[in-house]
């Protein structure tokens, strides 16, 4: 069996607390199949601490959404490479973009079966300003959308793509502006851009299913990047359906590429989101750790 001795880190607050009653179900599915211990997170950042201390385990299984996976990843990456357990995911959160990248089902029992019968694979890990990310980082407009989604998630109870779309329309009609930035790719010279957003990804989707970089794969040693130039609101609105389904790459204002490192600087702080977690900085230093993480994925 691929898992070996397993530490289950479950976030009972994921998806508005809907994960809490699912934990006993997952326990029952695992009970007779794999030796495991289960720890419930109690506060933001707790999964980082638990994963960082995961000594003597072969696998750490994150139960929750992208935020939980993000914390577990950062805890594991703080461990020495030679003593770092493999990682996998049972997606019970709101967005679950990383489960799409790994090919894990959104159906609970199917996901558990896939992990239990899965295989080991090496995937890339991104790093930005010493914070690790599994799936994506976005800077600019999309980060403001993420920040609004965090607020609306609490006030509306929405989740996933509907939540992201609702937040997106709010930002489009209330906080629509571009950013003057300088970007260096792969150690090259800095070039100035007036951009709406820059997405840097290991996987094809973010925001609960937006195919922002539809050709991205998590094990090629390169980020897929999507930079969108300054647009008018009308132009952004008619292009939006194309972006949702990943058919925007032909547009002249859209610049798709692959890079191993990116440095973005601005004269004032620009919002960012890293695996759905909001950040704010004047300088983003992003680099690729190729094949840095052992994961359990479906066969």
pLDDT per residue as tens digits for the range 60-114: 999 999 999 999 999 999 999 999 999 999 999 888 899 999 999 999 999 999 9
Determine the Cα–Cα distance for residues 58 and 69; give it in Å rounded to an integer. Answer: 17
pLDDT in tens, 21-59: 999 999 999 988 999 999 999 999 999 999 999 999 999
Closest alpha carbon to 258 in 192, 185, 197: 185
Pairing of strands 59-64, 86-91: parallel
Confidence of residue 1 (pLDDT cuts 50, 70, 90): low
What are the start and end residues of each CATH 3.40.50.10330 domain in the chain? 6-117
Residues near 175 by beta carbon (within 8 Å), at least 6 away in sequence: 141, 144, 148
Domain 6-117 has CATH 3.40.50.10330: yes
Q: What CATH code would you report for 136-289?
A: 2.60.200.40
Angle (CA) 242-244-246 rounded to 5° is 65
Confidence of residue 155 (pLDDT cuts 50, 70, 90): confident
Residues near 163 by beta carbon (within 8 Å), at least 6 away in sequence: 94, 149, 152, 153, 156, 208
Q: Using an 8 Å Cβ cutoff, are 283 and 118 in contact?
A: no
E strands in 6-98:
6-10, 36-40, 59-64, 86-91
**Proportion of the chain above pLDDT 70, given as a percent:** 100
What are the start and end residues of each CATH 2.60.200.40 domain in the chain? 136-289
Pairing of strands 277-297, 191-201: unpaired
Q: Using an 8 Å Cβ cutoff, are 226 and 198 in contact?
A: yes
pTM score > 0.85 for this model? yes
């Amino acid at each position: 069996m691929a898992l070996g001795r397993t530490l289950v880190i479950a976030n009972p607050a994921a998806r508005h607390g809907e994960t809490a009653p699912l934990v006993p179900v997952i326990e029952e599915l695992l009970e007779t199949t794999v030796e495991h211990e289960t720890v419930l997170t109690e506060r933001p950042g707790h999964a980082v601490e638990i994963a960082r201390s995961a000594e003597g385990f072969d696998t750490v299984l994150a139960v929750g959404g992208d935020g939980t996976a993000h914390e577990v990843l950062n805890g594991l990456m703080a461990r020495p490479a030679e003593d770092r357990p493999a990682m996998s995911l049972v997606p019970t959160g709101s967005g679950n973009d990383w489960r799409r990248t790994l090919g894990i089902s959104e159906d609970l029992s199917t996901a558990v079966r896939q992990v239990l019968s899965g295989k080991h694979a090496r995937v890339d890990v991104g790093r930005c300003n010493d914070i690790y990310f599994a799936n994506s980082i976005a800077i600019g407009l999309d980060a403001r959308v993420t920040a609004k989604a965090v607020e609306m998630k609490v006030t509306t109870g929405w989740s996933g793509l509907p939540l992201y779309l609702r937040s997106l329309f709010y930002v489009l009609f209330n906080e629509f502006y571009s950013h003057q930035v300088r970007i260096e790719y792969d150690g090259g010279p800095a070039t100035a851009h007036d951009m709406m957003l820059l997405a840097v990804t290991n996987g094809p989707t973010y925001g609960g299913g937006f195919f922002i970089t539809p050709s991205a794969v998590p094990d090629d040693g390169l980020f897929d990047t999507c930079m969108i130039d300054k647009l008018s609101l009308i132009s952004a609105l008619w292009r939006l359906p194309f972006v949702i389904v990943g058919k925007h790459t032909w547009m002249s204002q859209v610049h798709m590429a692959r890079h191993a490192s990116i440095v973005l600087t601005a004269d004032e702080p620009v919002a960012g989101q890293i695996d759905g977690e909001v950040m704010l900085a004047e300088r983003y230093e992003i680099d690729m750790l190729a094949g840095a993480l052992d994961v359990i994925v479906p066969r």
